[in-house]
């Protein structure tokens, strides 16, 4: 007995190529922004507790580096998606 619709098939449907790009890049931006947020919160906690000034300085430097990386990731994702 033939299928009621000849265009239906039992083969697995293919996903468009942009879905794999979006799923990969959908993880990069939150990870980069989350890393910046974590270091920012750690720096604020250190400052509010009256912690070491050296630790605060190191956390600030790390935050600046992570912000730079996050900006590169965001720009890269926008370029990769073609936006």
CA dihedral 46, 51, 57, 60 (to 10 degrees): 0
Closest listed residue to residue 82, CA positions, set 20, 15, 21, 16: 21
Q: How many CB atoms lie within 10 A of CB 37?
A: 14
Tokens of 13: 């449907």
Position 20 scores a pLDDT of: 57
What pLDDT is recorded for position 13?
A: 59
Block means of pLDDT (10 residues each) for the chain, length 83 residues?
A: 56 58 78 96 94 92 97 91 74
Structure tokens at 53: 């000034």
pLDDT score of 22: 61
Tokens 């974590």: give the residue.
38
Question: CB–CB of 40/63 below 8 Å?
Answer: yes
The per-residue pLDDT for 32 is 94
């Amino acid at each position: 007995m033939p299928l009621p619709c000849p265009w239906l098939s039992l083969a697995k449907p293919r996903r468009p190529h942009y879905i794999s790009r979006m799923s990969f890049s959908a993880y990069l931006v939150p990870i980069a922004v989350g890393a910046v947020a974590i270091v920012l919160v750690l720096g604020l906690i250190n400052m509010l507790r009256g912690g070491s000034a050296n630790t605060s300085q190191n956390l600030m430097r790390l935050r600046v580096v992570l912000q730079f990386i996050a900006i590169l990731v965001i720009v890269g994702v926008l370029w990769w998606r073609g936006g």
